[in-house]
């Protein structure tokens, strides 16, 4: 038996602790694109008011933490999101939604790649082709770290994430206390209109985008409460860092200099400490590539692995190497991310990715709240975590996140005064591809899996029944025995889903 074949029947290893889970959650969310997300908030909430928008967004994310903690407790699996969506809204809908949702990770990685390349070009004055080489190298490092096992990938994620968060916070504090700046618009969230304030909060949610993907590592967590802790600690860390950064930025750099810039963090570093500050922030920007790429590969590959294990993706994605890593999934993610990053390099549409990512996240938060509301009624069994006042808070989540979904879906990423259908158009295209795959591709994969299972069954003819058994069968021939269908019997649960 080959290594890949042995990996196909292996199991993920429970080696992820609280520090690594928190770093995975915070690292995937706090990417280089978060620096741009802060500028998007400033476009709708001027000056220091943006910190208030981030505060409101942080409170809403705490609700998200509670919702996903309870759902993860019910279904602690790498495919958890598909499982609870399936129980709440149906399996086909669940698969279509989750495959669309999975694109968020790739979009964040691709946008981050472009921004890192732009920062390198700005500071080092290198050509675009050489900047892309940097991205390829960083993708390769993250790929290698993941293929060598979750323990090494977790160590890289922990070290890099906390370095980025601490380094950004320290420079932001230096900028806040820098002589010569002035805070403007401290409380003017709705100064540009009520809709502007709603959009500011919606883009504030994007700063935390994808933090909940840490739930896909549930099968590798040492204990169930590890994921719950990460879901609450990571948003708190991001809120502190983002608040300090936006205060420092609004204190030292005028918004006209930030608008349209792909590297606001470099402008802040130069304003605070000159060339030293600029190089400081460049180093942190490059490090964000590692935590974003590494974290993205870590969590998305586990979902792909679980989907393949359940025959909704090709069987090859379920193969594990000797270090219990879904190597086909990780490698495929690296290749796709490199291709999408090249497209972003060619088109420069990174602002559109911000809007699309923010819209998808708000929609998923609304759907997650709806799932909790439905499963509170359907699932009566005990769970490790139970959100206090879960039902009314779930209703609030459905309403609020639906409003934010619409606000970002029609936002013009290049002009805060205009509306645009571009974000929704991209999401509709992604959702259409997912639906077609679920309708046309998944049935073929499942049919092939059923054929393999039948071919691997016993080849011997069944033994003739004993005389007593024949008599029993004849005496009970008037009893109709109707087997449960797969839907009536409920979804199957694999070893990792228990």
CATH code of the domain in which 263 resides: 1.20.1740.10
Average pLDDT over residues 254-264: 82
**Nearest alpha carbon to residue 110 among 338, 297, 424:** 338
**Nearest alpha carbon to residue 493 among 6, 75, 209:** 75
pLDDT, position 191: 54
Of 3-12, 66-75, 94-103, 341-350, least confident by mean pLDDT is 3-12
- Predicted confidence (pLDDT) at residue 279 exceeds the cutoff of 90: yes
Average pLDDT over residues 81-101: 86
Between the CA of residue 141 and those of 120, 210, 331, 450, 453, what are the distances in Å? 18, 21, 12, 38, 38
Average pLDDT over residues 127-143: 80
pLDDT digits (tens, 9 = 90+) for 155-174: 888 888 999 999 999 999 99
CA distance 13 to 102: 23
Residue 431 — φ and ψ, nearest 5°? -65, -40
CA distance 66 to 74: 13
pLDDT digits (tens, 9 = 90+) for 314-334: 989 988 888 888 899 989 988
DSSP string, 233-267: HHHHHHHHHHHHHHHHHHHHS-HHHHTT-S-HHHH
pLDDT, position 309: 86
- Determine, yes or no, domain membership for 220: yes
CA distance 209 to 28: 8
- Predicted confidence (pLDDT) at residue 474 exceeds the cutoff of 50: no
Query: Across the chain, what does the average pLDDT equal?
Result: 80
Percent of residues, the chain, with pLDDT higher than 70 = 83
- Determine, yes or no, domain membership for 477: no
CA-based angle 468:469:474, to the nearest 5? 100
Of 271-285, 310-324, 346-360, 426-440, least confident by mean pLDDT is 346-360
Domain count, the chain: 1
- Predicted confidence (pLDDT) at residue 489 exceeds the cutoff of 80: no
- Determine, yes or no, domain membership for 168: yes
pLDDT, position 195: 64
- Predicted confidence (pLDDT) at residue 379 exceeds the cutoff of 90: no
Of 111-115, 358-362, 370-374, 470-474, least confident by mean pLDDT is 470-474
- Determine, yes or no, domain membership for 491: no
Average pLDDT over residues 71-99: 84
- Determine, yes or no, domain membership for 485: no
The structure tokens listed for 446 are: 């499942």
- Determine, yes or no, domain membership for 484: no
- Determine, yes or no, domain membership for 335: yes
Q: Token pair 């109707």 is at which residue?
A: 482
Question: What is the domain extent for residue 226?
Answer: 3-454
The structure tokens listed for 168 are: 């950004």
- Determine, yes or no, domain membership for 469: no
Angle at which helices 194-206 and 49-74 pack, to 10 degrees? 50
């Amino acid at each position: 038996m080959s290594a890949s074949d042995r990996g196909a029947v292996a199991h993920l290893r429970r080696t992820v602790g609280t520090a690594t889970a928190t770093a995975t959650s915070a690292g995937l969310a706090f990417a280089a694109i978060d620096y741009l997300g802060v500028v998007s908030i400033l476009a709708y909430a001027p000056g220091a008011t943006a910190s208030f928008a981030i505060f409101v967004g942080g409170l809403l994310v705490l609700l998200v933490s509670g919702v996903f903690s309870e759902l993860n407790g019910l279904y602690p699996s790498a495919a958890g999101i598909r499982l609870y969506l399936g129980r709440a809204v149906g399996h086909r809908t669940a698969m279509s939604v989750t495959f669309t949702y999975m694109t968020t990770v790739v979009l964040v990685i691709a946008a981050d790649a472009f921004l890192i390349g732009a920062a390198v070009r700005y500071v080092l004055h290198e050509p675009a082709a050489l900047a892309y080489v940097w991205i390829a190298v960083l993708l390769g490092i993250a790929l290698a770290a993941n293929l060598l096992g979750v323990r090494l990938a977790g160590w890289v994620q922990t070290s890099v994430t906390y370095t980025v968060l601490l380094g950004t916070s320290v420079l932001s504090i230096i900028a806040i206390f820098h002589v010569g700046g002035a805070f403007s618009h401290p409380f003017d969230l709705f100064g540009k209109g009520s809709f502007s304030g709603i959009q500011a909060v919606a883009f504030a949610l994007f700063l935390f985008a994808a933090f909940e993907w840490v739930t896909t590592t549930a099968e590798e967590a040492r204990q169930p409460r590890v994921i719950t802790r990460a879901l609450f600690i990571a948003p708190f860390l991001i809120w502190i860092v983002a608040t300090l950064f936006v205060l420092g930025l609004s204190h030292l750099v005028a918004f006209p200099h930030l608008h349209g810039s792909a590297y606001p963090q470099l402008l802040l570093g130069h304003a605070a400490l000159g060339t030293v500050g600029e190089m400081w922030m460049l180093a942190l920007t490059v490090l964000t590539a590692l935590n974003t790429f590494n974290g993205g590969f870590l969590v998305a590959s586990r979902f792909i692995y679980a989907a393949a294990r359940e025959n909704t993706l090709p069987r090859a994605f379920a193969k594990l190497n000797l270090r219990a890593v879904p190597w086909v999934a990780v490698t495929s993610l690296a290749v796709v991310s490199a291709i999408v990053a090249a497209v972003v390099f060619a088109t420069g549409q990174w602002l559109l990715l911000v809007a699309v990512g923010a819209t998808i996240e708000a929609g998923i938060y609304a759907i997650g709240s709806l799932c909790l509301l439905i499963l509170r009624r359907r699932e009566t069994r005990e769970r490790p975590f139970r959100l206090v006042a879960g039902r009314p808070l779930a209703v609030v989540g459905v309403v609020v996140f639906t409003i934010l979904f619409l606000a970002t879906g029609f936002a013009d990423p290049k002009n805060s005064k205009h509306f645009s259908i571009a974000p929704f158009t991209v999401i509709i295209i992604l959702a259409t591809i997912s639906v077609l795959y679920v309708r046309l591709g998944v049935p073929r994969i499942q049919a092939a899996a059923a054929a393999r299972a039948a071919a691997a069954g016993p080849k011997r003819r069944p033994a003739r029944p004993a005389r007593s058994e024949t008599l029993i069968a004849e005496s009970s021939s008037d009893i109709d025995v109707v087997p449960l269908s797969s839907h009536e019997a409920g979804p199957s649960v694999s070893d990792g889903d228990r």
